[in-house]
Structure 1
């Protein structure tokens, strides 16, 4: 009986102690991470090596005016949302196989969340 009682009280405590709240997205940290992107992508609508990122969230992939996208990007049928951007930043070739952006991915989920939060501010 003591074992049942111990488990009854200690299991919820153990589960609660494992809980870690997700950190809030940090736009300032995302802006700092954007330094990895700035060589190719502008924060406005101007295209460079890569397309401009103004109004990226909500845009269909491969449709930024005036930019010559790869066939893979143009036919990807991806719309950039926080979720698709996170997945793409984690593994670009998995989300859009054959894309030509020379970026292997950003493995850290918190960094991706911060960068996506910053990209969402580019209006």
Structure 2
């Protein structure tokens, strides 16, 4: 019994480390976002994502958000960013971001880690 529990614990640890977030890989994944979003505080076609972790959706200064995003009751954190990047229309129906989402869970986790690192 102890051996089987140890085996399960080892398998969980290995799968968790395989899914560990990689900020450098997230920065590479962000290349699909740079056409609209910056990370330096300047808005483009989309709002800057600098300091997004902990920010209320639809609140970056100087960007003209959709009504859906301005009225969304979402505060950005690792969980809400992951949910949004999975399917933007599901979390904030009616938002105008022309992006269908990131299907790959590892790539999404890396991207969220990168976004969360932007202060």
Same fold flag (TM > 0.5): yes
Q: Which runs of 5+ in 1 are unaligned?
A: 1-7
Count of residues in Structure 1 that have an aligned counterpart in Structure 2: 116
Q: Which runs of 5+ in 2 are unaligned?
A: none
Match of residue 26, structure 1, among 22, 26, 30: 22
Residue 100 (1) aligns with residue 96 (2): yes
Q: Which runs of 4+ in 1 moved over 4 A?
A: 8-18
Residue 79 (1) aligns with residue 71 (2): no
Query: Normalising by structure 2, what TM-score?
Result: 0.88
- Partners of 1:56 and 1:16 in 2: CA distance: 34
Question: Normalized per residue, which structure has more helix?
Answer: 2
RMSD: 1.7
The residue number in structure 1 matching 2:36 is 40
Larger radius of gyration: 1
- Partners of 2:114 and 2:9 in 1: CA distance: 31
Query: Normalising by structure 1, what TM-score?
Result: 0.85
The residue number in structure 2 matching 1:5 is none
